[in-house]
Amino acid sequence: MTAPLLSVRNVSVSFGGVKVLDGVNLDVQPGEIRGLIGPNGAGKTTMLNVISGIHAPNIGDILLDGVSIVGRKPNEIARLGLGRTFQTSQLFRGMTVLENLMTGLHHRTSAGLVAAAFNLRGYREEEEAAEEEARLALEFVGMSAFADRPGSALSFGQQRVIEIARTLIGAPKVVLLDEPAVGLSLNRLAEFDTLLRRIRDEKGVTLILIEHVIRLVMDVCDQVTVLSSGRQIAEGPPDAVRNDSQVIEAYLGKELRARHSAS
Ligand SMILES: Nc1ncnc2c1ncn2[C@@H]1O[C@H](COP(=O)(O)OP(=O)(O)OP(=O)(O)O)[C@@H](O)[C@H]1O
């Protein structure tokens, strides 16, 4: 087996004395699509926040391509090859779609503020390269026709796709997606499966996705990790995880216990 591209080692996180993640381990291989599932409040978003540098773990280590990223700032981790989307739309509604995509590159551009203010050559060249990269990302997700429309004109599903495209133009190694399929209709889901696979296969990006749409997780993920109350309770291929008794209990626990006590 090759070395994991992302390795979360014994990570714990507490907020106000309450443990939200408790000794979590996660090894994601290059080229994998990993699902992260679990009931509400299980700690899934906290896990993505810790990986992307928004929160620091109380203990534990996280390696991205062999480099420890604990204690680094989110933009530094982004430069090391980590992309991310959030549960809610992060598009600027007043900017065009193309401009929104170009904001994804600003952690990489090096021309300083002075160069930008005077529109110097180095700055112009970087802007042109950024625009070209943004157009290619738009083409990749099949939304070139939307380049000049304002972010506010997009449907919810289109916004999700643009946000994913924005993560890609930074040439990431790993992209974390927080509930990317929320609000998508059933017939859009099939297209979405295809998009995620193409990102993996054509861009070589490793994906980790939190998703409540279990059908998408089962269809597209190679491995699934299940969190419940901050602990990892199962891990494996989708079919094995779906039939795991602890997972069934975590999702349906209350309902099942209520039925038992009623009978
Ligand atoms: N910044 C914070 N401060 C205090 N508590 C927090 C903070 N962020 C998350 N929590 C708590 O941590 C727990 C896990 O939250 P988290 O959002 O990670 O769960 P989740 O599995 O992503 O849930 P959901 O599926 O509902 O999005 C919850 O009890 C939440 O209230």
CA 157 / ligand 1 centre spacing (Å): 24
Residues of each domain in the chain carrying CATH 3.40.50.300? 6-90+168-262
Bridge partners for 131 per DSSP: none
The whole-angstrom separation of Cα 142 and Cα 144 is: 6
Q: Give the pLDDT score at 2.
A: 81
Q: Give the pLDDT score at 204.
A: 96
Q: Give the pLDDT score at 1.
A: 63
Q: Which atom of ligand 1 is nearest to the CA of 230?
A: 14
CA 137 / ligand 1 centre spacing (Å): 32
CA 263 / ligand 1 centre spacing (Å): 34
Q: Give the pLDDT score at 191.
A: 87
The whole-angstrom separation of Cα 98 and Cα 95 is: 8
Q: Which atom of ligand 1 is nearest to the CA of 55?
A: 1
For the chain, 263 residues long, give each residue's pLDDT as a single digit of tens. Answer: 688 999 999 999 999 989 999 999 999 999 999 999 999 899 999 999 999 999 999 999 999 999 999 999 999 999 999 999 988 777 888 899 999 998 866 555 555 555 556 565 666 777 788 889 999 999 999 999 999 999 888 988 889 899 999 999 878 999 999 999 887 777 788 889 999 999 999 999 999 999 888 888 999 999 999 999 999 999 999 999 988 888 888 876 655 555 555 65
CA 207 / ligand 1 centre spacing (Å): 21
Residue bearing the CA closest to ligand 1, atom 7: 15
Q: Give the pLDDT score at 121.
A: 62
Question: Going by CATH, does the domain composed of 6-90+168-262 fall within 3.30.420.40?
Answer: no
Q: Which atom of ligand 1 is nearest to the CA of 21?
A: 14
Q: Look-up: residue for tokens 């738009």?
A: 138
Q: Give the pLDDT score at 259.
A: 58
Is residue 163 within 8 Å of residue 100, measured between CB atoms? no
Is residue 62 within 8 Å of residue 15, measured between CB atoms? no
Residue bearing the CA closest to ligand 1, atom 8: 46
